[in-house]
Amino acid sequence: MSPPDDIHSSSPQSFLVTGGAGFIGSHLVERLISEGHRVTVIDDCSTGTFENLCSLQHNDRLTSHSCKVSECRELEDIVQRADFIFHLAAAVGVELVVNSPIRTIQTNLRETEVLLQAASHHGTPVLIASTSEVYGKSLKPVFVETDDLLIGPPTFSRWSYACSKLMDEFLAMSFFKERALPIIIARLFNTVGPKQTGRYGMVLPRFIEAAKRDEPLRVYGDGNQSRCFSYVKDTVHALLRLASCQRARGEVFNVGSTNEIQISELARVVIEVLGSKSQIQMVPYAEAYSPGFEDMHRRKPSVEKLFDFTGFRPSTPLRDIIQQAAD
């Protein structure tokens, strides 16, 4: 394994972070600013909020644009001045996706296309944040980047998210091949931590909120479905390592934790860690989402490729993450 080039030790650089006011984006922006870099954020605040960046309110190395990428009049200038782009702007959250599939598809396709087009005019490298959803209904115990993908039919809106993000991946890869645009694709698995909201369906912030109020934790389905939860600061660390790794360009990476937990067990652990009096309430999928909703039974990444290229893999223990998120 060759050692990663280090973005941190180099002189200050200029970054564009789309979706920088979102949950993961804001942690990334805070980290980049703390390392002395300049950052421009473009975020339409559809699911994010600039309150996530309030700690940087008076920092003159941060510039914010509250608009869509496709509606940002200064986009070409910003992209030209940037040394690197993190493209995180996207529709997020299973509930939002199920309730607003048109918005999901349009946001994910249009904004990425505009961004890649601008980046290709200036040759600015781009890391595209994709998603573990692209693995769809695969029953493989561990998902590897080269796997075939098994997406459900268009009659179930959930899959519009996976399909639109997958098209983003194809488009990015095409810009790499046809226009020599340096791109990196990061498939983010369940990422959790401080500032995440449960408003759009994410399980851990919901459980934590309920546990703090001693209200029931609502576990969907039979609760046997499992996920691997990565601490947001680990995810950000992985993204920075990838950004500074020349070898990573034109490649796809899983980014996530490999510590698997069933959702009913997660509920139990949250109650225990927070010393809550909450009960666990089982809720049928049809009631939680809509009739015929299809969930993924397991979703575990292989992060061998990430480790091979960057020497890093997320490893913060779940109980520590729960405590951090609750605080």
Catalytic residue numbers, as ranges: 161
> Which amino acid makes up residue 111?
E
| Secondary structure class of 14 (helix, strand, coil) | strand
Chain positions 222 to 251 lying near ligand UDP, rule: CB under 6 A, are: 225, 227
Question: Does residue 137 interact with ligand UDP by CB under 6 A?
Answer: no
Q: Which residues pair with 220 in a beta bridge?
A: 283
Shortest distance (Å) from residue 174 CB to ligand UDP: 26
DSSP state of 11: P
Shortest distance (Å) from residue 55 CB to ligand UDP: 25
Report the C-alpha gap between 258 and 16 in whole angstroms.
29
How many residues make contact with ligand UDP (CB under 6 A)? Answer: 14
| Nearest residue (CB) to ligand UDP, 96 versus 248 | 96
| Nearest residue (CB) to ligand UDP, 264 versus 310 | 264
Shortest distance (Å) from residue 285 CB to ligand UDP: 7
Residue 120 backbone class (left: φ over 0; alpha: ψ -120 to 50; beta: rest): alpha
Q: How many CA atoms lie within 13 A of 183 on its CB side?
A: 27
Shortest distance (Å) from residue 318 CB to ligand UDP: 14
Sign of the Cα torsion 185, 186, 187, 188 reads negative
Q: Which one of 295, 304, 312, 324 is in contact with ligand UDP (CB under 6 A)?
A: 295
* Closest listed residue to residue 122, CA positions, set 74, 173, 168, 182: 182
Binding mask 173-202 for ligand UDP (x = CB under 6 A): -----------------x----------xx
| Secondary structure class of 250 (helix, strand, coil) | coil
Chain positions 197 to 226 lying near ligand UDP, rule: CB under 6 A, are: 201-203, 206, 218-220, 225
> Which amino acid makes up residue 179?
R
Shortest distance (Å) from residue 268 CB to ligand UDP: 12
Chain positions 79 to 118 lying near ligand UDP, rule: CB under 6 A, are: 94
* 204-219: burial string, b at 16+ Cβ within 10 Å, e else: bbbbbebbeeeeebbb
Residue numbers at the binding site for ligand UDP (CB under 6 A): 94, 190, 201-203, 206, 218-220, 225, 227, 263, 295, 299
